[in-house]
Structure 1
Amino acid sequence: MNQQQIGKYRWTVCAMLFFATTVNYLDRQVLSLLAPDLSRQFGWTNSDYANITAVFQFVYAISMLFAGRIVDRLGTKHAFILAITVWSIGAIVHACAIPMGAGLNAVLGAVGIAAVPVSVAGFMIARAILAIGEAGNFPAAIKATAEYFPKRERSFATGIFNSGANIGAVLAPISVPWIAAQWGWQMAFIAIGGIGFLWMGMWQFLYEKPEQQKRLSSAELAYINSDVVVAPATEQVAAPSARRLSWVELLAYRQTWAFAFGKFMTDGVWWFFLFWLPKYLHAQYGMEKTAIMVPLAVLYSMTMVGSIGGGWLPTWFINKGASPYDGRMKAMLLIAVFPLVVLLAQPLGYISVWVPVVLIGIGASAHQAWSCNLFTTVSDMFPKNSVASVVGIGGMAGGLGGVLISKTGGWVFDYYGALGQIQTGYTIMFAGCAVAYLLAWCVMKALVPTHSEIEAPGPDFTVPATAR
């Protein structure tokens, strides 16, 4: 049966996930694009800015752990609506950062805690609200992909919706500086934050579980479930007895730790590029506001190639006989080599601003290729009703890695900036970003050398000793 006969509604779902991820990254990038101007206006040091971004990453990390559980409990449809409502509100309230900061300092003063600068306090509150909501995007999107796509298509579908991050990163430098220049920085947060509410109506109308989706043909539903292994009648367990694995049970599996370590080592690299590149262009080349629009748009346009191409790459190995997991791991090893070009960004940066833009663009593109495959390993190895929980655990690890790299960056840039050697600071940070993927792959391969799928547990299930 060809694809025309099967149907294509699953790709409509993929398009909605792509739109949501685009909005997700638009909202989180507004601050970084306005950072040079806001830093000057409010007198922020690099450490102040690092603290603001670290709050987002820390709250995101903790929220990811619970977001995955909430998505598995509420279901994809309702959990996504809740997530985008919270993060859209969080994006908009950045415009009220100053009064919120004053209110927080008043409360801290009343209980005898030393106040922080009003602007820093206010943006910390806003970033925390944004992080709580945004934590729901990827657990819900990965779960929706597991529900709507057979394993052979999941990495490609993940690559497509994950490229929404790149589109958001491209649209943000084109739109945010212009909005801020026309109507002020507050309106940039309000206008971009409001887009999420448009998405909610479409999602409410178009999304249901595949088994309940009236727009889905029986042929397409059968195709989606084509790689579900059905046990012999004598060995089948009634569907109602299957339950979600608990956090404790999930943490007993090496597969969970492999995914979490991969996220811890590499998520912070992407966030470093996302949050610090505007400040890098300002520190290194004196560029800010509308001047950074074209370089950042070009850089993030490059990442779309990595996201979609990286999603396709394991299919090449799978078609040659590799299992889905082995195909993804081979693809990820190849992908992990490309970020090494970031090592040349500083030594060759004297030639032109476009040299580091292109080299960092290659590294960021490789990250997106890596990310869509890393996410898909979860749906390869875990039952669908626990996928979002595992993604949440890994997301928490990735967020903590992001906190570490952001705080380290703030300290390094202030230290070397005071010595008049800010270039050395970026050389150090770029070097760490370049080697992170190869290290992550080696540890992941050591933890899970071959594919091992975890079955949905029945009522009398205990974690096998071999998983520990």
Structure 2
Amino acid sequence: MLKISGNDTPARIRRSQTLALVLLVVCGVINYLDRATLAVANEYIRADLGLSLGQMGLLLSAFSWSYALCQLPVGALVDKVGPRWLLGGGLVLWSLAQAAGGLASTFGWFVLARIALGIGEAPQFPAAARVVSNWFPPRSRGAPTGVYNSASPLGVALAPLCLTPLIAATSWHWAFFATGALGLVAALVWVALYRDPVAASMNAAERAYLDGGGAGAGAATTSFAAWCALFRHRTTWGMMLGFFGSVYLNWVYLTWLPGYLRTERHMDLAYAGLAASIPFICGFAGALLAGWASDRVARRAASPVSGRRNAVVVATLGMVAFTIPAALADSNVVAVACISIVIFLANASSASAWSLATVAAPPSRIASLGAIQNFGGFLGGALAPVLTGYIAQTWSFVPALLTGAAIAFAGAMSYHFLVVRTIPEDHAA
């Protein structure tokens, strides 16, 4: 396991950190397997239900709308109730919703199943941010944030490799049933094994590590007034607008890449499945590397906020730069290579953005600020598949990709100019 928090970490806490990260990665992989199932089965579902590209865009976005809206209350609930039961309950709900998608026979039924999936999956990343803030000091939160964020591209990379053969051997319905069952097992394991730190059961060295390091174990619980107070700060708005741009471009690829490779670049099913996995394997590496690097950058920066913000800005601008040749290149090899770099940088940006939330927020509202940022991001994630589908249906995927690049550039500028300081605890209402 990656050595995350240095030689000063008490042995029992290090074991708890490792267990927590392993569980978060497993849950995160299942989370993104479920999200990506619809993208992998895109063509089969369109043919079976008789959907246009525009309708498929609406279906692909249904998850993101409910997911985004639920971020606002879920972040505050995680800070108040804790991640164990919020994430456990979310796992059960999203797994049942995923299985319900396999029973869909109409467009309307499928939309409802995807909306329920978004509600169930909402606690995953706010809970993970809270877990990291509970178990790790601020100077060392980038690496564990990168670890749990690496589950996102890993799940998407595994989706075509695991689900394409299953769909070919059975039908697209079984891809939803199998991933739903996997989530129910994960829910039982998470609730059985994960615990938050309890100061009363720790020795002096363990308490000093968590309390002295500024981890969230002893942070005061939040309130509705304190949650509302976050919106008084430009840092909050910069993170929302910035993540909107980054996630928009990421979700263009996340929801449309298999369909893009098949429709625009005329790849056969087997080759498209492999080509769609390669960029997300690169994204897995990007999340891990960004987490490790952001800790080192933050230690050398003028402040933890500026260091982690700059990492987000650089990665997002890189996404923009490589999307342009990805859209315009004639060569499929060049296009897939550029897309791989974009996904690498997208996951580096996401990991850095979540680690930014752990240092920009007051200790009692880390999950709240992270969820508000994620709300802004998934408004972009909800818009991306719809707008991409309609642009591709009207013109082609080239202007759709260039539109995503322009939106991501605006997001990078929002981070750069608006996110300049930590939100202080004493501004809570």
TM-score by length of 2: 0.91
Tell me which amino acid in the other structure corresponds to 2:325. L
Of 148, 156, 160, 2:147 maps to 160
Larger displacement relative to structure 2 (372-381 or 24-33): 372-381
Q: Return the alpha-carbon distance in structure 2 between the equivalents of residues 270 and 239 of structure 1.
A: 33
Could you give the per-residue CA deviations for residues 105-125 of structure 1, whole angstroms, max 9, x where no partner exists? xxxxxxxxxxxxxx2112101
Q: Which runs of 5+ in 1 are unaligned?
A: 99-118, 230-237, 417-424, 463-468
> What residue in structure 2 maps to residue 396 of structure 1?
375
* Match 1:147 to one of 129, 134, 144: 134
Does the C-alpha gap of structure 1 residues 313 and 322 become closer, same or farther in structure 2, counting only changes over 3 Å? farther
* Corresponding position: 1:185 with 2:172: yes
Query: Is residue 6–residue 223 contact of structure 1 (8 Å, CA) maintained in 2?
Result: no
Structure 1 pair 219–93 and aligned structure 2 pair: CA distance change class (3 A): same
Are 2:424 and 1:454 equivalent residues in the alignment? yes
CA deviation digits over 1:217-242, x for unaligned, max 9?
7544432333339xxxxxxxx98797
Match of 1:314 among 294, 298, 305: 294
Alignment partner of 1:335 out of 315, 332, 349 = 315
1:61 is aligned to 2:65: no
Query: Are the equivalent residues in 2 in contact too, given 1:306–1:369 (CA < 8 A)?
Result: yes
Select the residue among 315, 318, 341 that pairs with 1:362. 341
**Which stretch of structure 1 is more off in the superposition, 65-74 or 312-321?**
312-321
User: Aligned partners of 1:270, 1:283: CA distance in 2, in Å?
Assistant: 19
How far apart are residue 304 of structure 1 and its match? 1.4
Q: What SS does the aligned partner of 1:96 have? A: coil
Show the counterpart of 2:285.
305
Q: Residues 60-107 of structure 1, C-alpha deviation per residue, up to 9 Å, x if partnerless?
A: 111111221222232111101111111111111011111xxxxxxxxx
Identify if the C-alpha distance between structure 1 residues 4 and 412 changes in structure 2 by more than 3 Å, giving closer, same or farther: closer
- C-alpha change, 1:245 and 1:20, in structure 2 (3 Å) is farther
Distance 2:388 2:204 in 1: 52
Change (3 A) 1:30 1:288: farther
Distance 1:11 1:241, change over 3 A: closer
Query: Cα distance 1:188–1:241, how it changes in 2: closer, same or farther (>3 A)?
Result: closer
Cα pair distance change 1:321/1:390, threshold 3 Å: closer
* In 2, Cα distance between equivalents of 1:227 and 1:88: 36
Which residue of 230, 235, 238 maps to 1:250?
230
For 1:226, give the aligned amino acid: G
Secondary structure of 2:195 counterpart: coil
User: Cα gap change, 1:143/1:178 in structure 2, threshold over 3 Å: closer, same or farther?
Assistant: same
Q: Which of 199, 202, 218 does residue 189 from structure 2 map onto? A: 202
| 1:280 and 2:260 matched | yes
Q: Give the Å deviation of 1:316.
A: 2.7
CA separation in 2, counterparts of 1:156 and 1:218?
A: 25
Compute the displacement of 1:35 (Å): 0.5
Query: Does the CA contact (< 8 Å) of 2:300 and 2:307 recur in 1?
Result: no
Cα–Cα, structure 1 residues 298 and 221, in superposed 2: closer, same or farther, change >3 Å? farther
- Partner residue in 2 for 1:422: none
Report % sequence identity.
Answer: 25
Aligned counterpart, 1:426 = 397
Partner AA of 2:26 in structure 1: F
- Structure 2 residue aligned with 1:44: 51
Distance 2:225 2:416 in 1: 23
CA distance in 1, matches of 2:200, 2:49: 51
Secondary structure of 2:91 counterpart: helix
Match for 1:223 among 202, 209, 227?
Answer: 209
Offset from partner CA, 1:46-71 (integer Å, 9 cap, x none): 11101112221111111111221222
Q: SS of the counterpart of 1:208?
A: coil
Structure 1 residues 398 and 13, CA gap change in structure 2 (3 angstroms): same
Specify the alignment match of 2:325 in structure 1: 344
Partner of 1:465: none
Q: Is the 8 A contact 1:58 1:400 kept in 2?
A: yes
- Give 4+ residue runs of structure 1 displaced > 4 Å after superposition: 3-7, 238-245
TM-score (norm 1): 0.83
Cα separation, partners in 2 of 1:347 and 1:126, compared to 1, 3 Å = same
Q: 1:123-142 deviations in whole A, cap 9, x for unaligned?
A: 10110111111111111111
Structure 2, gaps ≥5 residues long? 1-5
How many Å apart are 1:13 and its aligned residue? 0.8
Note the C-alpha offset of 1:31.
0.7
Partner of 2:411: 440
Shift of 1:284: 2.1
Is the 1:243–1:385 contact (alpha carbons within 8 Å) kept by the matching residues of 2?
Answer: no
SS of the residue corresponding to residue 134 of structure 2 reads helix
Q: CA RMSD in A?
A: 2.4
In the other structure, the counterpart of 1:130 is 117
Q: Which moved more, 1:264-273 or 1:325-334?
A: 325-334
Equivalent position of 2:3 in the other structure = none
